Structure 1
């Protein structure tokens, strides 16, 4: 649009000049030739007409220049307005983009907060379920301990009754031995030798029973602090007694502190160690544990068949204890 205005203005100026020239030629005037000899009186109106026409042409030219200047000013104002509107539109577009960006940030933040809330709810639900499961397990353990305590008390009662029967049988055997000694002098020495061996066995058994009782007392005293004085099951009790017997025969060294060894032991019904081997652990501790088992020779076992079946082949972890 600006280019068309620039083209029209020169054309208008050119047209005005040509019109003026035509008028001058029509009047028979020339700016180059000298004036012809004419009467002086009639020349005044012609000059005046030329001057008037030239003045109109100048006025028209000035008018055209003013129109051109006005058109240029108007075009500049229009361009400035367009630039202002473009700048305003760009600013509005940037503001709108920033709003969209802020809204997107808020949306993402809300999504994160919602996800966190969902995660927290899930975690709380899991925690409630875990607490419920722990409570159920604790109740099951409590009932199991009650059953174990009852079984242990029944086993202790049976053992006491059996011990009385054995004592009665031993007394009867002693009476029979005396009677036979009085009847047969020849058999007295043999019987005395037999009784000596029996006494030696009885002493060894008494010592073993005393060791078992001492080990049990020590173990029960230690476990009473950590297990709220609950009575161990018969199997656990004898395992503890076996561990205590090995500990008493274990030769410890400072280099063994904090180390352990896992061993496998096979026992006969009377507690005699038929075989033992180390499975894994510190080599020094394993050698000491092997030596302690061999030194003990016999380990505490129960005379109950069901308990013995669980003790005849056992795995134990030997960890040296330091005072």
Structure 2
């Protein structure tokens, strides 16, 4: 390109010189007279040196202008080349950063999955321990009850034997009358004891049936209250206020609030409500990846039982939808969550 422009400048210069020669020839007088000359006469047109200098100066200026234009064009090409190189490097850096972010997000996702599996395993182990403990307590209560009943029977038997001895002695002294009376009393005592044992068994069965019925009713009541209170449990998902003013900051804040409402609804659907939560409060911090995966749920303050239920609901959701706007995503990566029945 540079060689072509130089050739173009040379052509222009040659054309200007040719034009000057034509003008000089045009100014000369080439007319002929048929009359016989009376002597040797030479007619010539004088060339103004000032005009030649002026034309030469114009040619030099045109060459200088062409040279400066060529230099300016070269400068622009160099600037464009530098700008393209800078843009290429920036694009390469952006691609490298995107790859690094993707790898980091994948790593965070794997860590979150491992953490979730560990928490689920711990929850299963805790449930198994609680069930084993409940069975052990029930067995201990049953054994204690059996021992108490056996002791009561042994004491009753001992008293009966002692009284029988006293009565046997009285019977022996009273002879036939005492023996007859002792038989009557022994029979009466045996009947009374049989009735007492039957009544004790009936009372124990009635108590067990009543307890089972009361437990079933309590579970049914708790389930009904849980279903009724499910939609009123959450006090709201609080997104951070926009730090910058103007329309863009308001748009980011509005988008964060809108996605926060979506998150709230998703968590509500997973939350298990208990009657004991009424009047309690729990503050959590929820951290998400750029893809919406749950990375961590931390308890800040509040009722431990309610917080465990809220954490479980968040982990069951596992992944939340994320917007396309990176500024909104940044605000949603750490959320203050308040649960208050």
* TM-score bracket for this pair, using the shorter chain length: 0.3 to 0.5
TM-score, normalised on structure 2? 0.38
Higher relative contact order (CA 8 A, sep 6+): 2
TM-score, normalised on structure 1? 0.40
Determine which structure has more spread, i.e. the larger CA radius of gyration.
1
